[in-house]
Amino acid sequence: MAAGNICDNGAHLPYGEAGMGNYGANLATTWDRCSVLFETNDFLKLAKNVPFPDKTSIYSIGDYGTADGAASMAIMKKLIESLKEHHGPNVQFQIIYEDQEANDFNSLFRRLSGLIPEPPTYLQHIENVFAFASGTHFYKQCVPADSMHIIYSGVAVQWLSGKPPVNKDDIFSFPNTGDGARYMLEKQASEDWETFLILRSRELRKGGLLVVSTTTNYTTSSGEVKCAGENFLSILNTVWKSFHDSGKISQHELMNTNMALCDKSLTLLKAPFDDPDSKVSKSSLRLLSAKQVFVPCKMYMEWRKRKEEEGVDDRVEFARRYVSANRCWSNSTFLTGLSGTRSKDEKELIVNEFYAQVEEVIQNRNPEDFKDDNVFCYVFIIKD
């Protein structure tokens, strides 16, 4: 998951030392979601159809919810190379990297310059490409109207625009959560999705392309509805509730750490386009395609390969890597949700202990049973 674009719930605080590329080093490399787009060539084919008649003008591409740029580095390289081949080598490109104001833009530009070497930057090897940042969360307009040819958002729109509907008992409303909590969460997610789309419609040029990938819920072979990362979220929920039960955190803090995210189903993503009278339909956006894709968990695959080839069942390393990756996106929820009467050191102590216990729980689980399927939706939208 990319860094959150939370606004009313307090800015998402990146985890790790600023400028060190922690997100890219731990989370962005755990699945190759970019390759899914290029296996079908959908993105590249559609990008070539975006109108660009004046080759002397600037071609504008946005990367929304970028975090430190690691997850989209390969996709931007492929996209720019393809467009240069199509439109000519002298076309000038500007890449607008968007994220909320507290984002680790230091790591982004260190990565783009090559000071953080992995994944390799495209910026030093392709001419006439210029990178900029927009420190505005994407539930506001981020760039001038009618200025963007392509906007890409990779695994970021699952974050809500603000605090989620209150769940008194759990930090997250799972698909089987009762008492209307899940309904209210999906209602807010639906409203936020509509807001996101209308704003992007303002920013896109006529004929412009919007490509969004996001986590999604899915139905198992037994008919059970599961949300993305449900096993990991369940462990976070169980351990954090044990902190409440033991008196380490208050009831208010438990409710204040409700996670401001919602995995979006294909039905939810397509709904604004299925209604001809919706604000989205009237905004000139048109849905080209939406698909659900399963992407293997890299950490699980590496654990399994080592077990099969070397006979080493290293669950300690599996748990360490799993927590390191997922702490990137989840740490801020717990740190900022703790009471303001606590000192910074006290908050960090509690959260560090929390993740240590989460890691211990995962160490004692069989990765075959614990692993979460990485399930994403890929949505391709054009502005008529």
pLDDT tier at 178, thresholds 50, 70, 90:
confident
**Residue 49: inside a domain:** yes
Residue 124 has pLDDT above 90, yes or no: no
Beta bridge partners of 61: 95, 150
Q: What pLDDT is stored for residue 299 in this prediction?
A: 85
**Residue 212: inside a domain:** yes
Residue predicted with more confidence, 64 or 33: 64
Q: What pLDDT is stored for residue 30 in this prediction?
A: 55
Which tens digits make up the pLDDT trace of 151-176?
Answer: 999 999 999 999 998 899 899 999 88
Report d(CA 218, CA 188) in Å as an integer: 19
Residue 7 has pLDDT above 60, yes or no: no
**Residue 105: inside a domain:** yes
**Residue 317: inside a domain:** no
Q: What pLDDT is stored for residue 11 in this prediction?
A: 60
Beta bridge partners of 210: 151, 381
Find the DSSP H helices in the chain.
22-23, 33-40, 42-48, 73-87, 105-113, 181-203, 230-245, 251-256, 266-274, 279-282, 298-310, 315-337, 344-363, 367-370
Which tens digits make up the pLDDT trace of 326-355?
Answer: 999 999 999 999 999 999 999 999 999 999
Report d(CA 159, CA 4) in Å as an integer: 6
Q: What pLDDT is stored for residue 219 in this prediction?
A: 82
Quick one: tokens of 382?
A: 């054009």
Q: Is the pTM of this model over 0.75?
A: yes
Report d(CA 35, CA 43) in Å as an integer: 11
How many independent structural domains does the chain possess?
A: 1
Among 238, 265, 261, which Cα is nearest to 375's?
265
**Residue 84: inside a domain:** yes
Q: What pLDDT is stored for residue 295 in this prediction?
A: 81
Report d(CA 95, CA 98) in Å as an integer: 10
Spacing of C-alpha 39 from chain mean position: 20
Which tens digits make up the pLDDT trace of 75-116?
Answer: 999 999 999 999 999 999 999 999 999 999 999 999 999 999
Residue range 274-290: average pLDDT? 94
Which tens digits make up the pLDDT trace of 8-59?
Answer: 445 678 777 777 777 777 766 554 555 555 555 789 999 999 999 999 999 9
Q: What pLDDT is stored for residue 3 in this prediction?
A: 52
Residue predicted with more confidence, 137 or 17: 137
**Residue 11: inside a domain:** no
Residue 5 has pLDDT above 80, yes or no: no
Beta bridge partners of 285: 383
Helix (H, G, I), strand (E, B) or coil at 297: coil
Give the least confident one: 56-60, 186-190, 322-326.
322-326
Among 336, 356, 345, 346, which Cα is nearest to 14's?
336
**Residue 61: inside a domain:** yes
Q: What pLDDT is stored for residue 9 in this prediction?
A: 43
Q: What pLDDT is stored for residue 249 in this prediction?
A: 97
Residue range 258-277: average pLDDT? 94
Q: Which domain holds residue 28?
A: 22-229+259-296+373-383
Q: What pLDDT is stored for residue 225 in this prediction?
A: 85
Q: What is the CATH number of the domain that holds 173?
A: 3.40.50.150
Look up tokens 């750490």; give the residue: 257
**Residue 42: inside a domain:** yes
Residue 290 has pLDDT above 80, yes or no: yes
